[in-house]
Amino acid sequence: MTAPTKPPYGNAADSASERAPGEPLHSPVIDWFDEHARDLPWRRPEAGAWGVMVSEFMLQQTPVNRVLPVYEQWLARWPRPADLAAEAPGEAVRAWGRLGYPRRALRLHGAAVAITERHGGDVPADHAQLLALPGIGEYTAAAVASFAYEQRHAVLDTNVRRVFARAVTGTQYPPNATTAAERRLARTLLPEDAPTAARWAAASMELGALVCTAKNESCQRCPIAAQCAWRLAGKPAHEGPPRRGQTYAGTDRQVRGRLLAVLREAHGAVPQAALDRVWHEPVQRARALDGLVADGLVEPLPGGLYRLPMA
């Protein structure tokens, strides 16, 4: 996306009471973003709304460095929603590769079908229409409307929530799940001007990703360190529930990944025996396979064969 022209942020005659609550944060964070933002393909004008949507699906719980090669391949193969919609959903699962949480691939395929059928193949700009697409939640609808169409929405991902928790509420981490209070705060902090609000959403997200990180915050590089409530309070330690990292080795997620890898590489139906070889524990293996079938990621066929979904 091209950077919108920045509106004036007030003048010396403005009193503190006349300014929006977030205004002291807007200019330094956006100016920092203008200088330090990463050159990511979904931020370029040619990405369009579809490129933004694909990136938002892929970036959920997955770091940028893992998303980049898959994103490039995906957009080269399916440059428009109709291109993806014309393929079997199993092809979306195959192309998803090892990004993890492969149900996202099915949801993105379902959204592409709905966009093609309901909106003539163009990602809708209307927030309510975005929210009505299958697989699109509040965050993704707000992100696409904001980043693709420069609309005024509160975009609350983990990085933004952490920045707001520290800078405004003075806590090290936000709650485990997004709360109504966080949504109210995010709306309160939004700039009134829509293009500036969209820029603020991207800038605060980038600040959380690069500077105000979960484990190694770099306050010396932060453009709002002087205003940060958490830093000014002496960085009090987190007092909420323990924050546990997600494990992977030995979990059903790992087994599911092994099974899906066999099916992605096969380009056709495979026998049960081929799946049995990838995990030694039969009960866990069967549970993982049953889960993949229940999630629509694997299609069972007569004769003990399995394949990626075709419809």
Question: What's the CA gap between 218 and 99, in Å, rounded?
Answer: 28
DSSP notation for 128-171 = HHHHTSTT--HHHHHHHHHHHH--------HHHHHHHIIIII--
Which amino acid is located at 100 in the chain?
A: G
Q: What are phi and psi of 270, to 5 degrees?
A: -125, 150
**Of 93, 75, 68, which Cα lies nearest the Cα of 259?**
93
Q: Give the Cβ contact number of residue 189 at 10 Å.
A: 21
Question: What's the CA gap between 293 and 267, in Å, rounded?
Answer: 17
Q: Give the Cβ contact number of residue 204 at 10 Å.
A: 30
Which residues are identified as catalytic? Answer: 56
